[in-house]
Amino acid sequence: MSPSPRPPLDPGIPSPPGPDPSPAPSPTRALDPAVLRRDFPILQRPVHGRRLVYLDSAATSQKPAAVIEALAAFYQRSNANVHRGIHTLAEEATAAYEGARARVAAFLGARDDEIVFTRGTTEALNLVAWGWAGHRLRPGDTILVTLMEHHSNLVPWQQVAARGGFHLRAVPLTADGRLDRDAFSRLLADHRPRVVALAHMSNVLGTINPVAELARQAREAGAVVVVDGAQSVPHLPVDVRRLGVDFLAFSAHKMLGPTGLGVLYGRRERLEEMEPLLTGGGMIRHVELQRSTWADPPHRFEAGTPPIAEAAAFACALDYLARLGMDAVAAHERDLVRYAWERLRQVKGLTLYGPEPEHRGGVISFTVAGVHPHDLAQVLDGEGVAIRAGHHCTQPLHRHLGVVATARASFYVYNDRDDVDRLVEGIERARRLLADA
């Protein structure tokens, strides 16, 4: 199937996913988080009497009013099921949904028919594990993951390996929380993995893996490269052709979009090779009582009624990010992380995990001697500062770090240095209240 033409949109749907509306790349403009915060209704509410400082965007981001309005506008004006409908609303709904696909493709430098909508990163990775690896690998083949993976990019591979008789191996980390490149090269040479599945950015260590280089190495060794982009696509400029990966998974809700929607980018040849996980309406070409054939990708992988309103609203989120410029988003977070790193390392008894700021994105995990991360998060909540505490769906990594839980602060476009100062004040207060009391 050739890339779907971009259909006309009803003008009532806000932020139509037309041609890339991002301004021509100009010298990176600095973001002004205090101004951007006005676009986010939830950031106007106080928590425990203080301005909300939201430092949990790695779990899910907040949404600008334009995205919330796009979701409502779809239901108010254009709600109908997609495809096959011959009435105005069905055509508008289809245009919104397929237009969102084109918008995602443009954002990533992909073709429209390389974009599969899923429920999220987790579903996208399961689709690759079962639909591609589960059918293409043979008993004895190796799947290579890393020690820093989120459970979403580990457990599906464990499951498919157990079912198919594949070996699962993990790339170890250096002492500062980066991938051990020598070990990676050795594992490629010794085991010739058929799949290399790795995070672009760790949701705990903040490490940004040099995916373009690692993918080139892995492909030269004959592996298909699957990237968990849940923490990178929202925060860094990502171009799938430049990265040279076969699959890339991410979630709309971590990048200003709605919950219940994710994306699997798949290189066209790989999608052709992949079997569907879900079957039923919308994904077939021809059905007889005893057997069926499948539609071409991407529809082959989108059985049932898809998240239409969510896709329309996600297009609006991508427009918002494109207007800011992903270079500017990344530069802003780099600056914030450098500032936070310097401030946090001054706090007595605080241990930082992961590499120096130059190798990381906007996620910082830490522990404070004598204060359980959950207690720390609770004290901070009392100050209106939202962070996350726990294993962040990375139990093997936490075991490797020698802790059961960490506290994690994560940044996005609406955070600034004042937020970091509030975090540090809150940690100091927790220490006074709790540390070795």
Question: What residues act catalytically?
Answer: 393
We find the least distance from the C-beta atom of residue 82 to ligand PMP, in angstroms, to be 22
Q: Is 203 in the site for ligand PMP (CB under 6 A)?
A: yes
Q: In whole angstroms, what is the distance from residue 312 CA to residue 93 CA?
A: 9
Tokens at residue 38, please? 């006005």
Q: Is 365 in the site for ligand PMP (CB under 6 A)?
A: no
We find the least distance from the C-beta atom of residue 321 to ligand PMP, in angstroms, to be 17
Q: In whole angstroms, what is the distance from residue 295 CA to residue 223 CA?
A: 27
Amino acid found at 272: E
Q: Is 121 in the site for ligand PMP (CB under 6 A)?
A: yes
Nearer to ligand PMP, 73 or 205 (CB): 205
Nearer to ligand PMP, 153 or 209 (CB): 153
Among 152, 207, 365, 406, binds ligand PMP (CB under 6 A): 152
Can you name the residues that pair with 227 across neighbouring β-strands?
198, 248
Cα–Cα distances (Å) from 259 to 82, 93, 120, 184, 311, in that order, read: 19, 19, 8, 34, 10
Nearer to ligand PMP, 168 or 255 (CB): 255
We find the least distance from the C-beta atom of residue 199 to ligand PMP, in angstroms, to be 5
Q: In whole angstroms, what is the distance from residue 243 CA to residue 239 CA?
A: 6
Q: In whole angstroms, what is the distance from residue 192 CA to residue 166 CA?
A: 12
Q: Is 198 in the site for ligand PMP (CB under 6 A)?
A: no
Residues 307-336 within binding reach of ligand PMP (CB under 6 A): none
> Would you say 408 and 204 are in contact if contact means Cβ atoms under 8 Å apart?
yes
> Would you say 116 and 264 are in contact if contact means Cβ atoms under 8 Å apart?
yes
Compute how many residues bind ligand PMP; rule: CB under 6 A.
Answer: 15
Nearer to ligand PMP, 254 or 334 (CB): 254
Residues 245-284 within binding reach of ligand PMP (CB under 6 A): 251
Q: In whole angstroms, what is the distance from residue 161 CA to residue 192 CA?
A: 16
Could you tell me which stretch among 24-32, 62-70, 88-96, 225-233 binds ligand PMP (CB under 6 A)?
225-233
Could you tell me which stretch among 15-23, 226-234, 347-355, 380-388 binds ligand PMP (CB under 6 A)?
226-234
Nearer to ligand PMP, 37 or 63 (CB): 63
Nearer to ligand PMP, 111 or 150 (CB): 150
Among 61, 122, 365, 410, binds ligand PMP (CB under 6 A): 122
Nearer to ligand PMP, 93 or 233 (CB): 233
CA dihedral 51, 52, 53, 59 (to 10 degrees): -170
Give the SS3 label for residue 174.
coil
CA dihedral 199, 137, 223, 255 (to 10 degrees): -30
One symbol per residue from 81 to 120: x for binding ligand PMP (CB under 6 A), - otherwise; what is it? Answer: ---------------------------------------x
Tokens at residue 355, please? 């590499």
Q: In whole angstroms, what is the distance from residue 395 CA to residue 367 CA?
A: 16
Question: Which of 100, 211, 203 shows the shortest CA–CA distance to 153?
Answer: 203
Among 228, 302, 310, 416, binds ligand PMP (CB under 6 A): 228
* Angle at CA of residue 69, ends 65 and 73, nearest 5°: 175
Could you tell me which stretch among 11-19, 148-156, 340-348, 415-423 binds ligand PMP (CB under 6 A)?
148-156
Give the interface with ligand PMP as residue ranges (CB under 6 A).
58-59, 120-122, 150, 152-153, 199, 203, 228, 230-231, 251, 393
